[in-house]
């Protein structure tokens, strides 16, 4: 690491500190020639995750956009405040664990639906109706019927 003041290459680390729960390390360095102190940051390079849309458009995976979509579906539902955030984290972790650098957007959508299905059925239907753009009421009814059937006797709360 070259000294920003004199350009000397011989510098040493005088202090190291973990930031962002250890995702970043901040180092204070000192130039051995002119004693100038400067700071460097070291971060883990997260592998790029590319989402390929149906029309072939490629976009970097956007965890925040996913969280926003989930949050919207969960609006005013009786769930934990961080339900959308945790679901988005879990989905990102699952996508990254799969190890592929490119994933179809339908995979992200399917994981989001799966997560919402577990968290809250109303949120799931909200999300699914937008995401799957139900062709007509019959499709929507079929989806709701499936949920009822899974819930078993008594069905969803009336």
Residues that bind Zn ion (CB under 5 A): 3, 5-6, 8, 31, 33-34, 36
Contact 50, 60 (CB under 8 A): yes
The distance of closest approach from Cβ of residue 9 to Zn ion in the complex, given in angstroms and rounded to an integer, is 9
Describe the strand order of the beta sheet including 37-43 as a list of residue ranges.
11-19, 24-31, 37-43
* Pick 1 or 52: Cβ nearer Zn ion: 1
Token output for 107: 């995979």
Q: CB of 101: closest distance to Zn ion in angstroms?
A: 40
Burial class (CB in 10 A: 0-12, 13-18, 19+), 91: buried
Q: Which is nearer to Zn ion, 1 or 144 (CB)?
A: 1
Instruction: Report in angstroms how near the CB of residue 14 gets to Zn ion at its nearest.
Output: 13
Q: What contacts 143, CB < 8 A, 6 or more positions away?
A: 125, 128, 134
Closest contact distance (angstroms) between CB of 35 and Zn ion is 7
- For Zn ion, the closer of residues 31 and 67 by Cβ is 31
Question: Which CB, 5 or 53, lies closer to Zn ion?
Answer: 5
């Amino acid at each position: 690491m070259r000294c920003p003041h004199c350009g000397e290459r011989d510098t040493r680390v005088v202090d190291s500190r973990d930031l962002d729960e250890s995702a970043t390390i901040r180092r204070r360095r000192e130039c051995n020639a002119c004693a100038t102190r400067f700071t460097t940051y070291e971060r883990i390079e997260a592998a790029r995750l590319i989402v390929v849309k149906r029309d072939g458009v490629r976009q970097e995976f956007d965890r925040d956009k996913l969280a926003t979509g989930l949050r919207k579906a969960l609006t005013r539902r009786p769930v934990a405040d961080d339900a959308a955030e945790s679901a988005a984290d879990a989905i990102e972790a699952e996508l990254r664990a799969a190890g592929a650098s490119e994933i179809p957007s339908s995979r992200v959508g399917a994981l989001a639906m799966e997560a919402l299905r577990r968290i809250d059925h109303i949120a799931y239907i909200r999300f699914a109706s937008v995401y799957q753009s139900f062709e007509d009421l019959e499709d929507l009814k079929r989806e709701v019927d499936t949920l009822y059937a899974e819930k078993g006797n008594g069905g969803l709360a009336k």
